[in-house]
Amino acid sequence: MTFIAKPKLHHPELHKNSLGYTRRDYEGAISTLCAGCGHDSISAAIVRACFELDLPPHRIAKLSGIGCSSKTPTYFLGASHGFNSVHGRMPSVLTGANLANRDLIYLGVSGDGDSASIGLGQFAHSMRRGVNMVYIVENNGVYGLTKGQFSATSDKGAKSKRGVVNSDEAIDLVGMALQLGATFVARSFSGDKAQLVPLIEAALKHEGAAFIDCLSPCVAFNNHEGSTKSFDYIREHNAAVNFLDVIRSREEITVDYAPGSVELVTQHDGSTLRLRKLHTTYDMHDRVSALTYMQERQAAGEIVTGLLYVDPNPRDLHGHLHTSDTPLNALMDDALVPGSSVLAHVNARLR
Amino acid sequence: MQPTDIQDPDYFHKVVDCQWACPAHTPVPEYIRLISAGRYADAFMVNWKSNVFPGILGRTCDRPCEPACRRGRVEEEPVAICRLKRVAADYKGDVSDRMPPAPTTRNGKKIALVGAGPAALTVARDLAPMGYHLVVYDGDSRAGGMIRSQIPKFRLPEEVIDEEVGFITAMGPEMRLGQRVDSLKGLLDEGYDAVFVGSGAPRGRDLDLPGRQEASENIHIGIDWLSSVSFGHITKIGRRVIVLGGGNTAMDCCRSSRRLGGDDVKVIVRSGFEEMKASPWEKEDAIGEDIPILNFLVPKEFKHRDGKLYGMTFEKVHAEYDAKGRRRLVPTGEPEHFFECDDVLVAVGQENAFPWIERDIGLEFNEWAMPVVNETTFQSTNPRVFFGGDAAFGPKNIIWAVAHGHQAAISIHQFCQGTDVNDRPPPMVTLASQKMGIHEWSYDNGVSLDLRFKVPHRDKVIALKDIKSEVELGFDLKLAFAEAQRCLNCDVQTIFTDKLCIECDACVDICPVDCITFTGNGDEADLRTRLMAPAHDLDQALYVSGELKTGRIMAKDEDVCLHCGLCAERCPTGAWDMERFLIDVAQAENACCSK
């Protein structure tokens, strides 16, 4: 653990975004995780994505559960709202917060234990309800805080640091998110920011349930030979289906790639995703073929990464429930207590 | 790019910008750390070994280290390196028992040193402990050279000079003070094994303008006047004084005048204010003493009546630059400016003068009447004669004289021992890990956010009353500690071992100044455009590793690295380490050792 604060001094040419903030303004406290933890790289990617999207820090709410991953919100977006909830209950707390104030940008950070074990039900329901959020699972396949037991996402046959072989099937969170109706599903790797940062940006711009499964090696307990979540293993078996650039509306879109290799997707908020396709036959608008493709590649021992599925026009929980456009927490007495004549009208409708 | 060769002693030496910029290569961060630790005597000795005159330089140095200081590139101002040197000298206590004793045996070689200024005294200090019989000649009755004669006492008290010159004279050189050398030939005929000439640039340049002869009573050459003030021959000046010239001598002249009765003192320079040769802080101090500096005025005439000076006229000019960027001062056509005055001090430059060196003793002079001196060995074309300080290459600063002295001492030693003077002894380098625990270092890696502290000054009314009362009071221990904490410890180097790296990005994420990048290799110009942050400063190296597992390389821009060690703290495999780099630039005692 590092005892000194990260010096405030910065590069003299550090850029400012349109809000006048530098990237450093999106940082949090210094990390207390083990040196080299993949989670710290994901924190840095979130910092970069929020900076590059010019997001006002005070309009973001970051929520988490319990675990190494769930400690990380302290280490980014120090000026944003934060909530450390009960183990596995981040999705419920976030859903509640989102219902009360739909105007904030919601970022749920969880881990494989928090989401695939104790919080599996919570995870499932937030996906199927379409809560407008970015749900990042920092997936290291191991219980790091309790010294390296297999987690529910550990692959069958993977070896622990002590040489024990995992005999249980792994839960595939990406597959579940696809089945449960998430409208943005991606997988990435903490060691590849070129891929990860645009995915987080695109997810933040997505107005529905956006899920990112981010492989994040545990340097202390799951970065050895025989592990399927180590830096070396992921780098060797990484099969990216596409690379993504997020283009904001004010930027000019120029396509200079070979025909068929690039696809432009305009999201509901006006942002454009430019995908450089590595597998030209892969269709990321088709849930069923996405699932099939992933299972095929997984059987072949590959780890599929990239933007796997996106619905450019999603509906979210507020759409399903027809809630008011004004956030519930901003409704004043006159709207909440409309008076006896309105009550009489409502009652009359029900007679 | 090829992987960086960190075995090259120059590579990390350049990263320690202050030490690299110092002509005598003083290990600055090393002594600043010692000050932080309260080890003032140790800090003094580190300085003393490199620059010989810490107390003197801590008040008067031209500070080439400070513009080089990395701190000035990441915030507004560099560390007050010079004034921290003074702290070491002020609080060192008695260090006489740490000085090399006078040798008990002689090595049989006899060396004459001409001049007892900083260059010759440095040669004496380096050679005396080795058993040389040294004979120091100086026309003045006290040793110190220009340090004693030209620097006003309100900037440098006499006791400081006495102490630091005394450390050297205590080592046993034979001091022949008050004895001016009139003939180099005569000196050589006395059978010295070698002669070192450190006689300075003793002649002040004059201004030959109308009225110069007639009003000569009230027109003085700056350095001669300062010297007379210093030795107490002059104790007052007229009420209205004009100082001509824009260098540090002009600043000393005007501030001395303010203390000797001048209450309307002004400095008038030909150039613009910005281009003046004086150090910015000396200009600031002069202005602080109510001395206006008027620029772009070319002196035309000394006005006099009945043999008495009453003013000067000037022509107003402005600067024009030609296509090659050369400056020309062009008259603006305004009517002449006239300023009343009682005295004029001319401080428009210094010249070398060697009337005492015969031209037929095998010692060549160049077209500017300067001796031909080798820039590395300081040997003249007469192999027995060596030069240093202002006498070698014209007027510079004390720290340069010291640096010359060290090199000349090496050459003299090699010459006397019969080895080749061109075969320079290499520096000694140590690199030692500072790791003490998982995240503990034996240096203080926290970065202070304080801005530069100002040195307290004596109250102006009191300071202006007494020419011997020192203006700067020096940092007290609390301020010294706070200022010392601003040092970034640039000598604690980031060492990268490529075969240990797992490319987890932890160092990239934590680096506060974005100086680390993992990327594909390329040539330097290309790499510099592909880093986390732009690397425009071509004077600062890129530290490039060998190829890593993914085929990429690590490239670190040394430019604004804070040496905070966070890359090493966040590295899971120890691929980064913080190692203290200590370079001991060779002095005479290290020469000849391998023979």
Mutate to test the interface with A, among B71, B444, B487, B505 (most CBs of A within 10 A): B505
Beta carbons within 8 Å of A99's beta carbon, 6+ residues apart: A317, A318, A323, A328
Q: Is the pLDDT of residue A280 over 90?
A: no
pLDDT category of residue A254 using cuts at 50, 70 and 90 = low
A300, part of any domain:
yes
- Percentage with pLDDT > 90 across chain B: 93
Among chain A residues, CA nearest to B514: A11
How far is the C-alpha of B187 from the C-alpha of B199, rounded, in Å?
14
Contact A41 B573 (CB under 8 A): no
Contact B447 A3 (CB under 8 A): no
Q: How far is A245 from chain B (nearest CA, A)?
A: 18
Cα B334 to Cα B209, B296, B301, B338, B552: the distances in Å are 20, 12, 16, 12, 66
Q: Is the pLDDT of residue A58 over 50?
A: yes
The residues in B 15-74 lying below 8 A from A, measured between CB atoms, are 73-74
Contact A40 B571 (CB under 8 A): no
Position B595 scores a pLDDT of 40
Higher pLDDT, B572 or A274: B572
Q: Which of B445, B502, B515 sits opposite A4 (nearest CB)?
A: B445
B574 interface with A at CB cutoff 8 Å: no
How far is the C-alpha of B472 from the C-alpha of B272, rounded, in Å?
27
Contact A11 B570 (CB under 8 A): no
For chain A, how many helices (H) and strands (E)?
12, 13
Contact B173, B138 (CB under 8 A): no
B569 interface with A at CB cutoff 8 Å: yes
Topology (CATH level 3) of domain B99-202+352-416: FAD/NAD(P)-binding domain (3.50.50)
Determine whether B253 is exposed, middle or buried from the number of CB atoms within 10 Å of its CB (0-12, 13-18, 19+).
Answer: buried
Determine whether B99 is exposed, middle or buried from the number of CB atoms within 10 Å of its CB (0-12, 13-18, 19+).
Answer: middle
Domain range for A197 is 23-321
pLDDT category of residue B594 using cuts at 50, 70 and 90 = very low
pLDDT of B293-322, one tens digit each? 999 999 999 999 988 999 999 999 999 998
Position A257 scores a pLDDT of 54
pLDDT of A308-319, one tens digit each? 999 988 999 999
> How far out from the chain centre does Cα B43 lie?
18
CATH architecture of the domain B204-350 equals 3-Layer(bba) Sandwich (3.50)
Cα B22 to Cα B61, B125, B590: the distances in Å are 10, 19, 20
Question: What is the domain-level CATH number for residue A168?
Answer: 3.40.50.970
Residues of A in CB contact (< 8 Å) with B are 1-14, 24, 30-31, 34-38, 40-41, 43-44, 190-191, 193, 217, 219-220, 223, 231-232, 235
B566 interface with A at CB cutoff 8 Å: yes
List chain B residues with CB under 8 Å of A6.
510, 512, 566
Span A4-27, average pLDDT: 94
pTM: 0.91
A163, part of any domain:
yes
A261, part of any domain:
yes
Q: Which of B439, B534, B570 sits opposite A13 (nearest CB)?
A: B534
State the Cα torsion A220-A225-A228-A230 to the nearest 10°.
40
Among chain A residues, CA nearest to B445: A4
Q: Which of B439, B446, B508 sits opposite A1 (nearest CB)?
A: B439
Contact A191 B564 (CB under 8 A): no
Q: Is the pLDDT of residue B136 over 80?
A: yes
Boundaries of every domain in chain B: 99-202+352-416, 204-350
Contact A35 B570 (CB under 8 A): yes
Instruction: Select from B302, B131, B99 the least CA-distant residue to B219.
Output: B302
Instruction: Select from A40, A211, A27, A235 the least CA-distant residue to A132.
Output: A211
pLDDT of A167-181, one tens digit each? 999 999 999 999 999
pLDDT of B218-271, one tens digit each? 999 999 999 999 999 999 999 999 999 999 999 999 999 999 999 999 999 999
Contact B506 A6 (CB under 8 A): no
Q: Report the length, in residues, of chain B.
A: 595
First to last CA, chain B: 38
A340, part of any domain:
no
Least confident of A184-193, A274-283, B304-313: A274-283
Q: Which of B505, B533, B570 sits opposite A11 (nearest CB)?
A: B533
- Structural domains counted in chain A: 1
Is B204-350 the same fold as B99-202+352-416?
Answer: yes
Span B565-584, average pLDDT: 95
pLDDT of B389-429, one tens digit each? 999 999 899 999 999 999 999 999 999 999 999 999 999 99
Instruction: Select from A190, A140, A142, A191 the least CA-distant residue to A162.
Output: A142
Contact B505 A232 (CB under 8 A): no
Among chain B residues, CA nearest to A219: B572
List chain B residues with CB under 8 Å of A44.
505, 508-509
Type of residue found at B83: R
**3-state secondary structure (DSSP) of residue A150:** strand
Among chain B residues, CA nearest to A38: B504
- What is the DSSP annotation of B128-175? GGGT-EEEEEESSSSTTTHHHHTS-TTTS-HHHHHHHHHHHHTT--EE
List chain A residues with CB under 8 Å of B573.
36
Contact A217 B508 (CB under 8 A): no
- What is the DSSP annotation of B218-269? GEEEHHHHHHHHHTTS-----SEEEEE--SHHHHHHHHHHHHTT-SEEEEE-
Backbone Cα Rg of chain A: 21
How far is the C-alpha of B476 from the C-alpha of B484, rounded, in Å?
12
A15, part of any domain:
no
Q: Beta strand A60-64 with A142-143: parallel, antiparallel or unpaired?
A: unpaired
Q: Show the DSSP H helices in A53-172 as ranges.
A: 68-71, 90-100, 112-116, 120-129
DSSP type of residue B23: T
Contact B116, B177 (CB under 8 A): yes
Contact A235 B572 (CB under 8 A): no
Position B500 scores a pLDDT of 96
- Percentage with pLDDT > 70 across chain A: 96
3-state DSSP of A267-324: CCCCCEEEEEECCCCCCCCCHHHHHHHHHHHHHCCCEEEEEEEECCCCCCHHHHHCCC
